[in-house]
Amino acid sequence: MVLENKLGLTDSSELAHVEEKVSKKKALEMFESGLLDSFEAGTFEALAEIHRYLFGEIYDFTGKVRGVNIAKGYFRFVPVMYLEAALINISRMPQSTFDEMIKKYVEMNVAHPFREGNGRSARIWLDSMLKKEIQQVVDWSKVEKDDYLLAMERSPVKDVEIKILLQAALTDKINDREVYMKGIDASYHYEGYNVYRTENLAE
């Protein structure tokens, strides 16, 4: 089933290509304009703004809390009836240390507030928190896809693995354009989007 979109596309692979191209370009714009640094890091509102900016040209539901229950494999994300309360609680979670921020990130992943684009938005959201609180970001290009996906799959039960994985990839190059662009490409690759490279989409 192809998600309803503003572009009227009915072919899922065509939609995936357009979504990747447009949203990677928007991700770069968000970084270069400084807009990303203006959001209140660690809040659901910041995540909603990131989501809206990335995917707003493609979908109507951007930045809006989903109204349907969703699952990935055997794992069910937070049911709709508890979602609003969960997002308020996550926004209030502490974020002064690396461990606290990863815990918050894991909880947001379990919430999965949007119909589509949760992972890509949440990784940018995590980096904006890390940048603000400890002046570091994850160099996602150093985090292998399979390692990341396995660690995230296990994270609701035990978050040690994802903490170790991401801590090993931390860098203090928080304003480095190349680190950011490679990170976006890696982040999209985790979700199976790897047709375009962000650096080639720059104006």
| Partner residues linked to 138 by β-bridges | 170
Determine the average pLDDT of the residues in 57-69.
97
Residue 203 has pLDDT above 80, yes or no: no
Rounded to the nearest 5°, which phi and psi values hold at 4? -60, 130
User: What does the domain layout of the chain look like in residue ranges?
Assistant: 12-194
State which H helix or E strand residue 171 sits in. Answer: strand 170-171
Backbone CA torsion sign across 120, 183, 44, 18: negative
Determine the average pLDDT of the residues in 186-202.
95
For residue range 23-42, what is the model confidence (pLDDT) as tens digits? 999 999 999 999 999 999 99
CB 86 within 8 A of CB 111: yes
- What whole-number distance in Å separates Cα of residue 73 and Cα of residue 112? 14
Residue 74, pLDDT score: 86
Residue 73, pLDDT score: 85
Residue 13 has pLDDT above 90, yes or no: yes
Rounded to the nearest 5°, which phi and psi values hold at 108? -70, -35
**Percent of the chain predicted with pLDDT > 90:** 96
Distances (CA, A) of 1 to 5, 36, 42: 12, 32, 33
Burial (0-12, 13-18, 19+ Cβ within 10 Å), 196: middle
| 169 SS3 class | coil
For residue range 87-117, what is the model confidence (pLDDT) as tens digits? 999 999 999 999 999 999 999 999 999 999 9
Q: For 12-194, CATH number?
A: 1.10.3290.10
Determine the average pLDDT of the residues in 121-148.
98
Residues belonging to the chain: 203
- What whole-number distance in Å separates Cα of residue 93 and Cα of residue 88? 9
- Name residues whose C-beta falls within 8 Å of residue 167's C-beta, 6 or more positions apart in sequence: 98
Predicted structure pTM score: 0.97
Residue 1 has pLDDT above 70, yes or no: yes
